[in-house]
Copies of this chain bind each other. A is one copy, B any other.
Amino acid sequence: MRKGEQTRTLILNEAVALASQVGLEGLSIGSLAERLAMSKSGLFAHFGSKEDLQLLTLKQAQTLFFEEVLSPALKHARGLPRLRALFSNWLAWVKRNDDLPGGCLMLAACVEYDDRPGAVRDLLVAGQRELRGALAKAIRIAIDEGHLKPRTDPWQLTFELFGIVLATHHDFRLLGDARALERAGDALERLIEAHRAAAPSA
């Protein structure tokens, strides 16, 4: 029972890395088994079907994202510091290259499954909603703390922040433009400045 779980997570981590390059749909059991130097059938036995493998791979990526982006941001002070930490962690996640050689798996899956109904898409949408909710909540807190104007629309700001991250991913991954990271930082600061509360600041 122990060995099984162990190799299963080993498989899933490799699956996340491979899927980040070829997509969740392009992920094949054969090639995954080859990369892990194990038999196709042996690997397949861990998952009842390919869709199961895809779901668990996506969930693994989501967990990883939560642990590396959202969770550590919560350790920062409420308001703008936390929002900035979240954004900066997110950019670091986008540019990491060690175990996500093909960029963010979730962002890739978003485009892959935007009109491919099924369990994978449902899980993906749920994750995106959660992330957007967390972002909006961080913004709302920043408003309550008096860092941002009360008239700031959290969802509008969330939308625009998300756009900056998407553009960064695009420029960094496809065009190989490292300046995208500073552009993202500039865009964030300009956005914050536009919504910053008048009297006290942070």
A binding-site residues for B, Cβ under 8 Å: 21-23, 25-26, 101-103, 107-108, 110-116, 124-125, 128-129, 155-156, 159-160, 162-168, 170-171, 173-175, 180, 183, 186-187, 190, 194
**Distance, CA A107 to CA B173, complexed state (A):** 13
| Smallest beta-carbon distance A162→chain B, Å | 5
**Distance, CA A102 to CA B110, complexed state (A):** 12
- Count of this chain's copies in the oligomeric assembly: 2
In the complex the two chains form, is A114's CB within 8 Å of B110's CB? no
Which of chain B's residues have a CB closer than 8 A to the CB of A115?
Answer: 21, 101-103, 173
In the complex the two chains form, is B108's CB within 8 Å of A111's CB? yes
Which of chain B's residues have a CB closer than 8 A to the CB of A160?
Answer: 163-164, 167, 183, 187
| Smallest beta-carbon distance A192→chain B, Å | 12
Which of chain B's residues have a CB closer than 8 A to the CB of A183?
Answer: 155-156, 159-160
In the complex the two chains form, is A112's CB within 8 Å of B170's CB? no
| Smallest beta-carbon distance A109→chain B, Å | 9
Which of B112, B129, B163 contacts A164 (CB under 8 A)? B163
> Can you pick out 6 interface pairs between chain A and chain B where the beta carbons lie within 8 Å of each other?
A22-B116, A108-B111, A114-B170, A160-B167, A162-B167, A163-B163
